[in-house]
Structure 1
């Protein structure tokens, strides 16, 4: 991970988090403020400038947690990246967090590789969300196809295009798709980083088919692939490519035999109106 000189606010009570995150912040030159309550976190956000907020969803029974801090933050700032820490018990609330706008998830117990990848994505997404990068070889109808280079800038530009397409096809349901957009973002990031190993000479092939009752997405890289069935059978999705989160967000997730193509299915409650 490149050296980033950023200031981070962390809302957490779990004693197991600081020994993992703390040394990482020091190594990467992050300046971190730790708070134990939502009230203190909200106060700090008003007084200080932060480049990233990290919040544990579960601070204990009957206590406000990361979701409450995220709600307060979004009232005054729609853009500051917020990364959620979730355990199995609080994972079900992740969809509500996505609706409020989150830049990533960390699942307990924390994994150093996942921390590095998630925080880097969160900050780069925030920095690069308005970057422009030309897409090649695409056509836009209800079936949209694109071939992009293996770079985060290309992925972010593609996400902007997909976002505009969804708003065009489903104008009244537009706010109902944060789960789909998060899953596509994770899939593209996996294709860049794990599939093509950040080789800018390799392409990513993207396709989205917008139907009345469902949306189908296909993301394919030019990498060696992996044994998706083995990962599923051994229950290791949370440790590999964010598959646990993607499967939680989508109605159906499948891979080709080689493991270099992921297919996502989102079912719609009703077709687009108008």
Structure 2
């Protein structure tokens, strides 16, 4: 039997538009997930989605503006992780992001983060403006593996 490390853990941070600062925050989340015996595959996927979302918020949302910030909220329990990242940018429409798997876009750098996040997380939601993403991971939910075994 695993050790129960409390019903849930939550952290909220407001950080500068600096991907290095944003990247440091995920370490604490991964540690909390590990203590709750999350599988290594889930740890990897959550960290990957988090990193992509932070980079998108700083580079695309805030356009690296040093006077803007990014709000990060992370919650972890034994079966579910929620990450919410909000930038101060004008937002975007995720439905209008072209699929980077199209033949004409295979050699174009960038444009893969939104797709990647949707592939590795259980649920992904954007606010109406498009400057906030909420990502949810359910323990053991790995759609990519499920598809390859079908």
Taking structure 2 as the reference length, the TM-score comes to 0.73
Aligned residue pairs total 124
Structure 1, unmatched stretches of 5+, are 1-140
Question: Would you say 1:208 and 2:74 are equivalent positions?
Answer: yes
The 3 A distance-change label for structure 1 pair 256 and 241 is: farther
Distance between the aligned counterparts of 2:59 and 2:75, measured in 1?
A: 25
Q: Is the 8 A contact 1:143 1:209 kept in 2?
A: yes
Question: Would you say 1:160 and 2:27 are equivalent positions?
Answer: yes
Q: 4+ residue runs of structure 1 moved beyond 2 angstroms? A: 159-168, 172-176, 237-241
Structure 2, unmatched stretches of 5+, are 1-7, 101-109, 142-150
C-alpha deviations, 1:161-186, integer Å up to 9, x for none? 32233334x2x325231011000000
Query: Paired residue for 2:84?
Result: 218
> Which residue, 118, 122, 136 being the options, matches 1:265?
136
Q: What value does the CA root-mean-square deviation take over the aligned residues? A: 2.0
* Cα drift, residue 260 of structure 1: 0.2
Distance between the aligned counterparts of 1:165 and 1:211, measured in 2?
A: 8
Query: Paired residue for 1:250?
Result: 121
The 3 A distance-change label for structure 1 pair 212 and 166 is: closer
The structure with higher relative contact order (CA 8 Å, sep 6+) is 2
- After TM superposition, the structure 1 = structure 2 runs for residues 100-249 of structure 1, keeping only pairs within 5 Å, are 142-168=9-35, 170=36, 172-173=37-38, 175-176=40-41, 177-231=43-97, 236-238=98-100, 240=111, 242-249=113-120
Taking structure 1 as the reference length, the TM-score comes to 0.42
Q: Is the 8 A contact 2:38 2:78 kept in 1?
A: no
Distance between the aligned counterparts of 1:159 and 1:143, measured in 2?
A: 12
* Cα drift, residue 241 of structure 1: 5.5
Bigger-Rg structure (1/2): 1
* Cα drift, residue 149 of structure 1: 0.7
* Cα drift, residue 237 of structure 1: 4.0
